[in-house]
């Protein structure tokens, strides 16, 4: 196998983590909306935790993209 083909396969495998991140972000906000509908007075208090969860989940996506770029161009 040529080196360029191996790099392409490796970068593709590294970006599989982005699918999990999409599911995670959907679950975070879906559960927030569900909880906000059940208890509207608690929704503003939970919003900070929701943003923290979103930021940490999105960081995983950035790490996956950095690894993919390192494989391709490193």
Q: What is the pLDDT of residue 2?
A: 92
Per-residue model confidence as pLDDT tens digits over 34-58: 999 999 999 999 999 999 999 999 9
Q: What is the pLDDT of residue 11?
A: 92
- Residue 26 to residues 8, 60, 70, Cα–Cα distance (Å): 28, 15, 28
Q: Which two tokens stand for residue 65?
A: 């993209």
Span 3-73: which CATH code? 1.20.20.10
Per-residue model confidence as pLDDT tens digits over 11-25: 999 888 889 899 999
Residue ranges covered by each domain of the chain? 3-73
Judge whether 62 and 25 are in contact, CB under 8 Å. no
Q: What is the pLDDT of residue 17?
A: 83
Q: What is the pLDDT of residue 46?
A: 93
């Amino acid at each position: 196998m040529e080196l360029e083909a191996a790099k392409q396969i490796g970068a593709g495998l590294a970006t599989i983590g982005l699918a999990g991140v999409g599911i995670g972000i959907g679950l975070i906000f879906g559960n927030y909306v569900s909880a906000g509908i059940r208890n509207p007075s608690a929704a503003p208090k939970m919003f900070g935790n929701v943003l923290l969860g979103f930021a940490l989940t999105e960081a995983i996506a950035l790490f996956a993209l950095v690894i993919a770029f390192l494989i391709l161009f490193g």
